[in-house]
Amino acid sequence: MSITARNANQLKGSVLFLMESVNLKVSNAPFVRSKDSIESVMYNVALALAPATAMSVYLFGMKALVLTVVSILSCIAFEWLMDKARKKPNSCFDGSALVTGLLLALNVPSNLPLWMVVTGAFIAIVASKHAFGGLGYNVFNPALVARVFLLISFPAAMTSWPVPFSVDMQTAASPLGILKTDGLDAALASFSIMDGFYGTMNGSLGETSFLALLAGAAWLWYKKYITMYIPLSLIGSVFLFTGLFYLIDPTTYASPTFHMVTGGLILGAFFMATDMVTSPLSVRGQLLFGLGCGLLTAVIRLWGGYPEGISFAILIMNSFVPLIDRWDLNDRKALQTKKPETP
Amino acid sequence: MKTFKTGGIHPPENKFTENIPIEEMPIPAELAISLNQHLGKPAKPLVKVGSEVKKGELIGAADGFISANVHASTSGKVKAVKPHPHPSGQYAMTVFITADGKDEWAERLNTDPMDWHGLSKEEIIGKIQNAGIVGMGGAGFPTSVKLSPPPDKQIDTIILNGAECEPFLTADHRLMLESAREIVEGLEIIASLFSGQAKAYIGIESNKKDAIGTLSQIASSKGIEVVSLKTKYPQGAEKQLINAITGRTIEQGELPFDKGCLVQNIGTAVAIYDAVSKNKPLIERIVTVSGLEIGKPKNIRAVIGTSFKDISRFCGDPKGNTNQIISGGPMMGKALFTLDVPVVKTTSGILFVNNTGIEKARERTCIRCGKCVDVCPQGLAPWLLANVAQLREFDEIQLLGLANCTECGSCTYVCPSRRELVHWIKYAKALVNNRQKRKSA
């Protein structure tokens, strides 16, 4: 009866209409909604990352699993704390903290001390997500901010990668690291391209297996949670840019295939650059965003001080997203306010 | 198969009643005939308490150019003239008639079908105007006005809208199967107003194969093309239908006749036929009564003014856990706060549903997934319009194409954050309108 009474009262001088048996709710059209929700988006991203996570446990052992669990749990804990502190509805289980935790774990070496992982989770959730207003308002990808923070704060721990299947946690540089410090021949000698394809090489948890990552990305694409504009323009521009220099001087520059399978390119292109919150909305904006990420990645890889550039590239391009969206917005305004042509 | 260019969604069709023939709903003992069943000014009441009326007698006269006549749906005595709830959610002046059970027609109405070919354009438009015909698809724009475009606009395309893209609704579908001849003849009457120069189409969504078949058989010999349209919402929205069939785009500030098009609903075509050839005013329509919570889903032919209460009783009463009753389709309909509202000329359906979960979902923040932009058939950015509406930046929002929104609700349907996007856009439209009214006053 409640709704009936409230609405009837607003109306002038009329009888109260009471329903005999039905208590009617008034809400806004449309009265059917798709089944998509923030949860379904986030849990599908987590599901898509499962093959890569499983692969990392297979390669690096229980240590990788522990690290992943700690990362996820600390992200969820910080999410809960921040919701409490900001007096917001509980968002621990909307899946976004889970995805951030998972991505953070996949972005670090498996022998990273756990307290560093927790620090990373703090940076991701508190400093780069809730400080901006929580899910939907963050400018930068939280997991990437945390990764870059850890890389700059703890460079040694963040660049000593365990060798796959090693019992005594033997560490070595990643192929990209070797390329930077010892040159192309040493890098090529350290692994085969097929290692990169299957993931049996040194690296962070999630950046090793090309195959597992592609399987997850294909799932997301099939379920329409990501489009291919950003990944294709990102990977394509890395391929073309590094390919150009490989053609100029194959003795100094690695082949584009080498760049495809090493480092975090695939993880970054399909799972980090495509983050809905921190990427442009329009197709051409996404293509431009991917192109920018790709060129910056290639430039940092070829001539930068760091062996890997994808995280820096995505973060830099993140900061351009409002500008890219403004480009689209201005055209939109021009289109919508266009006067009809008079024949 | 044709379709419109941008956006669109495909919600579950749920056309439970598509194979159920139209059933005559008996005229109830009391009718509540609203004087506001159309776009524009409400009709002026012509009857007083105690007046005797005959079926089809004029009881409300069109008040101004954009308005429409209202007729008594049965014979009886006027019991009251007072404000009464309307399916739009507001109150409207309503004439209550106590039926005398004789159902007697007023003189010279509902005659045997006559040959209309000899009538002049003015006579045909006059008959349509007198019969109080309005667009029966939902907007309720007076048809006589729509059929008289300014003389400098050349109409070369006439489209009958049989898309019925709203889930659940099957009223037009059944009408196409059961009254195909009347529909085609109604379309011929419309075409005759444009000296036969215009090409006539009937657009039907591909999920109504039987209707496409039935109408093609009758229409093809008369130069009318039946177009099979992709099953995609909002295929039946005027602008989208024109785009699908002719490829033309109606820009902001334009009306269909600016692009040489005229769109009429299936139900309207039958009403036009009835009015022109039988002198029958618009006093009844087909209503789909459906939803998971109604005892017996049906397509009914109900007289205007029949209470939703009587209809719900006629269709086996709502089940216990009904919590929403919707007038119209689930995408663009209105949730009612009472069942005590009458059928009006634009009531295409009544849905009894249990929407627990949807009706109380919390709006969450935009995660910028861009789905609303992808599905918007008008090429807008609904998330941005909603944000700007919430900030009450009403100058900015007009620059973003507020007036171009057709309120189809596709954006709200897909939003994973459950934002009430179309609601915020409607809110902004209402406030912008108010402000303009205040300025001009």
What are A236-282's pLDDT values in tens digits?
999 999 999 999 998 888 899 888 888 889 999 999 999 999 999 88
Q: What pLDDT is stored for residue A112 in this prediction? A: 93
Counting runs of H as helices and runs of E as strands, what totals does chain B give?
A: 13, 17
Q: At what angle do helices B171-178 and B180-192 cross, to 10 degrees?
A: 90
The residue with tokens 């560490």 is A171
Cβ–Cβ contact A35 with B under 8 A:
no
Q: What are the beta bridge partners of residue B2?
A: B229
Q: What pLDDT is stored for residue A167 in this prediction? A: 66
Q: How many CB atoms lie within 10 A of CB B151?
A: 6
* Partner-chain contact B365 A8, CB within 8 Å: no
State the average pLDDT for chain B: 93
Domain count along chain A: 1
Q: How many CB atoms lie within 10 A of CB B246?
A: 18
- What average pLDDT does this structure show over B364-391? 92
Of the listed ranges B135-139, B226-230, B267-271, the least confidently predicted one is B135-139
Using a CB-CB distance cutoff of 8 angstroms, which residues of chain B are in contact with residue A89? 362
Spatial strand order of the sheet with B22-24 comes to B22-24, B298-303, B284-290, B349-353, B324-327, B334-335
Alpha-carbon span B178 to B22, nearest angstrom: 8
* Partner-chain contact A21 B422, CB within 8 Å: no
Q: What pLDDT is stored for residue B62 in this prediction? A: 93
Q: Are B81 and B49 in contact (CB under 8 A)?
A: yes
Q: How many CB atoms lie within 10 A of CB A243?
A: 16
Provide the shortest C-alpha distance from residue B60 to chain A (in Å): 22
Q: Is the pTM of this model over 0.80?
A: yes
Backbone angles phi, psi at B39, to 5 degrees: -75, 145
- What average pLDDT does this structure show over B14-39? 94
Using a CB-CB distance cutoff of 8 angstroms, which residues of chain A are in contact with residue B361? 33
Backbone angles phi, psi at B225, to 5 degrees: -100, 125
pLDDT above 80: residue B441: no
Nearest by CB to residue A30, choosing from B253, B331, B379, is B331
- What average pLDDT does this structure show over A127-156? 94
- Domain containing A53 equals 38-322
Residue A30 CA neighbour count, 13 Å, CB half = 25
Q: What are the beta bridge partners of residue B261?
A: B157
- Short-list A52, A96, A22, A87, CA closest to A277: A96
Alpha-carbon span B151 to A72, nearest angstrom: 70
Q: What pLDDT is stored for residue B3 in this prediction? A: 94
pLDDT above 70: residue B5: yes
State the average pLDDT for chain A: 86
Nearest by CB to residue B324, choosing from A12, A31, A38, is A31
Nearest by CB to residue B337, choosing from A3, A32, A329, is A3
Alpha-carbon span A189 to A192, nearest angstrom: 7
Q: Copy the structure tokens of residue B15.
A: 């056309």
- What average pLDDT does this structure show over A96-122? 95
Alpha-carbon span A7 to A26, nearest angstrom: 9
Q: What pLDDT is stored for residue A14 in this prediction? A: 33
Q: Copy the structure tokens of residue A24.
A: 């009617």
Q: What pLDDT is stored for residue A174 in this prediction? A: 83
Q: What pLDDT is stored for residue A340 in this prediction? A: 53
Contacts of A279 (CB under 8 A, 6+ apart): A230, A273, A286, A289, A318, A321, B368
Q: Are B68 and B62 in contact (CB under 8 A)?
A: yes
Structure confidence at residue A170 as a pLDDT band (50, 70, 90): confident
CA distances from B180 to B1, B173, B265, B306, B327 (A): 22, 10, 13, 25, 26
* Partner-chain contact B324 A24, CB within 8 Å: yes
| Residue B330 vs residue A208, higher pLDDT | B330
Structure confidence at residue A173 as a pLDDT band (50, 70, 90): confident
Domain B121-278 fold is Rossmann fold (3.40.50)
Structure confidence at residue B385 as a pLDDT band (50, 70, 90): very high
Q: What pLDDT is stored for residue A341 in this prediction? A: 53
Q: Is residue A115 part of a domain?
A: yes
* Partner-chain contact B89 A21, CB within 8 Å: no
Q: What pLDDT is stored for residue B415 in this prediction? A: 94
Q: Is residue A229 part of a domain?
A: yes
Q: How many CB atoms lie within 10 A of CB A16?
A: 12
CA distances from B221 to A326, B118, B226, B262 (A): 54, 21, 11, 22
Q: Are A26 and A3 in contact (CB under 8 A)?
A: yes
What are A62-99's pLDDT values in tens digits?
889 999 999 999 999 999 999 999 999 999 999 999 99
Alpha-carbon span B252 to B403, nearest angstrom: 7
pLDDT above 90: residue B15: yes
What are B182-216's pLDDT values in tens digits?
999 999 999 999 877 889 999 999 999 999 999 99
Q: Is residue A329 part of a domain?
A: no
Domain ranges of chain B: 121-278, 371-440
Q: At what angle do helices A38-60 and A96-106 cross, to 10 degrees?
A: 30
pLDDT above 70: residue A343: no
- Short-list B154, B379, B412, CA closest to A328: B379
* Partner-chain contact A36 B414, CB within 8 Å: yes
Structure confidence at residue A22 as a pLDDT band (50, 70, 90): low
Using a CB-CB distance cutoff of 8 angstroms, which residues of chain B are in contact with residue A339? 253
Structure confidence at residue A317 as a pLDDT band (50, 70, 90): very high
Tally of residues, chain B:
441
Q: Are B108 and B127 in contact (CB under 8 A)?
A: no
Q: Is residue A145 part of a domain?
A: yes
Percentage of chain A with pLDDT > 90?
A: 57
What ipTM was predicted for this assembly?
0.89
Residue B95 CA neighbour count, 13 Å, CB half = 33
Residue window 252-271, chain A: list those with CB within 8 Å of chain B: none
Q: Looking at chain B, which residue has its C-alpha nearest residue A36? A: B416
What is the bridge-based pairing of β-strands B91-99 and B30-34? Answer: antiparallel
What are A215-241's pLDDT values in tens digits?
999 999 999 889 999 999 999 999 999
What are B288-318's pLDDT values in tens digits?
999 999 999 999 999 999 999 999 999 998 8
Q: Is residue A184 part of a domain?
A: yes
Q: Is B403 exposed, middle or buried (0-12, 13-18, 19+ CB in 10 A)?
A: middle
pLDDT above 60: residue A181: yes
Q: What is the DSSP string of B275-338?
A: HHHH---S-EEEEEEESTTBSS-EEEEEETT-BHHHHHHHTT-B-TT--EEEES-TTT-EE-S-
Q: Is residue A74 part of a domain?
A: yes
pLDDT above 90: residue B8: yes
Q: Is residue A101 part of a domain?
A: yes
Provide the shortest C-alpha distance from residue A264 to chain B (in Å): 23
3-class state of residue B76 by DSSP: strand
Q: Which helix (H) or strand (E) covers residue B161, if one does? A: strand B157-162
Q: Is A146 exposed, middle or buried (0-12, 13-18, 19+ CB in 10 A)?
A: buried
- What average pLDDT does this structure show over B374-397? 92
Structure confidence at residue A338 as a pLDDT band (50, 70, 90): low
Q: What pLDDT is stored for residue A18 in this prediction? A: 39
* Partner-chain contact B364 A332, CB within 8 Å: no
* Partner-chain contact B9 A34, CB within 8 Å: yes
Spatial strand order of the sheet with B58-61 comes to B44-45, B58-61, B70-71
Q: Is residue A6 part of a domain?
A: no
- What average pLDDT does this structure show over B384-395? 92
- What average pLDDT does this structure show over A183-199? 78
